[in-house]
């Protein structure tokens, strides 16, 4: 019985994969819920004329940065909630990579720690590059 408990508490690839799958599922479901809530807010607050889709209009400036998105989230603006859901969706694989750094360091697999840190740095750097 003692060895069974040691195997259960042992850090291994299967446990790492299980945690990663939970992170990915939770991130996608959370992002989905936020987008749906944003869609509901948007429909409630925008009952005006039908937009002209023949002319492309980019997102407003306040929806292009995280600070502007969050300001609108706190006052229940639908477009901001939708945009925040998309940010969460993009952040989900980044969270997976960040967890992988922790998992590889726990396994003392330093080659993968370094490689995963490089990938994490590239991902985070791409968010702040214009």
2: pLDDT strictly greater than 60: no
- Give me the pLDDT at residue 1, please: 46
88 contacts 30 by C-beta, under 8 angstroms: yes
104 contacts 9 by C-beta, under 8 angstroms: no
- Give me the pLDDT at residue 110, please: 94
> What average pLDDT does range 44-70 have in this prediction?
82
- Give me the pLDDT at residue 102, please: 92
Report the 10 Å Cβ neighbour count for 94: 16
117 contacts 99 by C-beta, under 8 angstroms: no
Which tokens sit at 93? 């694989």
Tell me the pLDDT tens digit for each residue of 59-113. Answer: 888 888 888 899 989 888 889 999 999 999 999 999 999 999 999 999 888 999 9
- Give me the pLDDT at residue 113, please: 95
pTM of this structure? 0.79
Domain ranges of the chain: 11-128
- Give me the pLDDT at residue 127, please: 80
Collect all residues with Cβ–Cβ distance below 8 Å to 94 and sequence separation of at least 6: 120, 123, 124
């Amino acid at each position: 019985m003692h060895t069974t408990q040691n195997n259960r508490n042992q850090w291994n690839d299967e446990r790492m994969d299980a945690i990663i799958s939970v992170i990915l599922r939770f991130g996608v479901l959370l992002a989905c819920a936020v987008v749906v809530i944003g869609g509901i807010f948007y429909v409630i607050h925008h009952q005006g004329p039908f937009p002209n889709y023949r002319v492309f209009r980019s997102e407003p400036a306040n929806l292009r940065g995280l600070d502007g998105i969050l300001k609108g989230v706190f006052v229940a603006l639908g477009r901001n909630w939708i945009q925040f859901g998309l940010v969460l969706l993009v952040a989900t694989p980044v969270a997976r990579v960040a967890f992988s750094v922790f998992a590889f360091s726990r396994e003392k697999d330093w080659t993968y720690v370094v490689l995963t840190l490089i990938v994490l740095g590239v991902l985070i750097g791409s968010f702040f590059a214009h």
